[in-house]
Amino acid sequence: MSNTPIERNAAQIARDVNARTLSAAEVTEAMLAHVDAVDVAVGSYLTVLRDQARQAAARVDARIAAGERLPLAGVPLAVKDNMCVTGTRTTAGSKILEHWVAPYTATAVARLLEAGCIPVGKTNMDEFAMGSSCENSALGVTRNPYDLSRVPGGSSGGSAAAVAAYEAAIGIGSDTGGSIREPAAFCNLVGFKPTYGRVSRYGLIAFASSLDQIGPFGRTVEDCALTYDAMGGHDPMDSTSIDRPLETTAAHLRSDLSGVRIGIVKQFATSALGAEIDAVYAQAYRDLKALGATLVEVELPTADHGLATYYLIAPAECSSNLARFDGVRYGLRVDGPDVNDMYERTRAAGFGPEVKRRILIGTYALSTGYYDAYYVRAQKARTLIAQDFERAFASCDLIACPAASSPAFQFNAKSDPYSMYLMDYYTIPMSLAGLPALSIPCGWVTPPGGDRPMPMGLQLCAPLFAERPLLAAAHAYEQKTKHALKHKPTLTEVVG
């Protein structure tokens, strides 16, 4: 274990702080100094919460001194900037909320603070969580700590980059169509999206309400399990929160996969992704088998319709959710001669191109004469996708497939919307079905034109509410392969 607090995993930090061999204040000061040193290159944070972090550390140390034991004592936390934290600038990566200060704290964040976390800062993101690269942020640039010329993934790119660059021990993001799993794959992390409704969305600035789900980033599966256990569970403040007892996960991790049936999706063949990437996933499947799993072929015949389905449902919900940002109640206001002109000027100045694009798509899909043809048909397709998963899970316990079709790409490499949307091809079906899924490091490839290896992620997916066996299996795979430990991030090169 490293003697440097910033390089310790969340579980290690919590054990040391609870044992009083390390104080939360020491961890916090080391982390803030590291953020000051490296974030000028990485750009993870939009706001660093120095005062709040120090105050939280003092409270944690006082609680430990009083005899409490906290599951995440002293663990530095990076919070995606679409989650409210009282008294902090909460922007959703948009000019329209650039100076808005949250009056309350999101339930998921509040639960993590109660568990002992230290809030280091609010992290950069694609505007209103719309993007797969973090390039759509209106407020800053975030770079991949493993190659600063490449994107960290999106939309939760800032949280992923912060954890990968040791600027936090854990991060939280939101996943609508893959926005935790893809950045985790790009940044050599574990990124976990729980079952829809398992983590409260209260205090999360909504993108697509039937899809959004908060989840953790960690450098280990154990860290993600500890984070999920602390922030999951029913919340009466969220009408979509599921009132069902939470099965804790961190105490139920395992070291093998004996008796586990893992489905390999026929429609998700990796041969078209290139020989090197295909070899990474072929080896990942062999490693699962070597751990004792039985591999079975399963089919998801409607999965190929996932992209089209998602890009009707999500923009439709975005069109509705973002109607509240009109210059009257929140954030930016650009005055005009009358109220309608004020609405138009505010939204034209405040929203970026991708947000405008999705609002237009969603408004069109919901409009008279097109609602049945587009939105209703998309919801029917969503039901078929969920039913396909139910049939697949009749013959397997988990499903394994890619988390992304490529490693992290260079900035501006996917300038047309369609090629960017395709990045979510493997993650969207699970989101439409509301299933728990995660990405875990599974190997390294050197991209064309690149001069260093970049990480790849294996996606594991489970039936509804099966977080415990999902994380247990991921831990077994992690302990056998140790892919995440094979390379460290490069933070010395600054690309202008």
**In a 3-state reduction of DSSP, which class is residue 185?**
helix
Task: Tell whether the torsion through CA atoms of 459, 476, 151 and 117 is positive or negative.
Answer: positive
Among residues 412, 402, 397, which one has the least CA distance to residue 472? 397
Among residues 197, 154, 177, which one has the least CA distance to residue 44? 154
Whether 155 is catalytic: yes
Question: Residue 38 corresponds to which tokens in the numbers above?
Answer: 């490296």
**In a 3-state reduction of DSSP, which class is residue 349?**
helix
Q: Quote the CA–CA distance of 112 and 129 in Å, as a whole number.
A: 22
Among residues 365, 369, 443, which one has the least CA distance to residue 185? 443
**In a 3-state reduction of DSSP, which class is residue 329?**
coil
Among residues 47, 116, 51, which one has the least CA distance to residue 77? 116
From the candidates 23, 156, 179, 439, which is the catalytic residue? 179
Cβ contacts of residue 495 below 8 Å, gap of 6+? 143, 148, 149
**What is the residue whose two structure tokens read 């000028």?**
40
**What is the residue whose two structure tokens read 């663990």?**
75
Are 153 and 132 in contact by the 8 Å Cβ rule? The answer is yes
> Residue 369, by phi and psi: left (phi above 0), alpha (psi -120 to 50) or beta?
left
Among residues 183, 192, 132, 154, which one has the least CA distance to residue 437? 192
Q: Quote the CA–CA distance of 302 and 297 in Å, as a whole number.
A: 16
Are 284 and 458 in contact by the 8 Å Cβ rule? The answer is yes
Whether 44 is catalytic: no
Among residues 222, 227, 274, 280, which one has the least CA distance to residue 251? 222
From the candidates 44, 155, 319, 406, which is the catalytic residue? 155
- Provide the terminal-to-terminal Cα distance of the chain, rounded to the nearest Å: 34
Whether 414 is catalytic: no
> Residue 66: is it exposed, middle or buried by C-beta count within 10 angstroms (0-12/13-18/19+)?
exposed
Q: Quote the CA–CA distance of 494 and 492 in Å, as a whole number.
A: 6
| Other beta carbons within 10 Å of 494 | 10
From the candidates 23, 44, 80, 174, which is the catalytic residue? 80
Q: Quote the CA–CA distance of 120 and 6 in Å, as a whole number.
A: 12
Q: Quote the CA–CA distance of 124 and 136 in Å, as a whole number.
A: 10
Tell me which H or E stretch contains 174. Answer: strand 170-175
Cα 60-61-62 angle, rounded to 5 deg: 90
**What is the residue whose two structure tokens read 């998963």?**
389
Show which residues are catalytic.
80, 155, 179
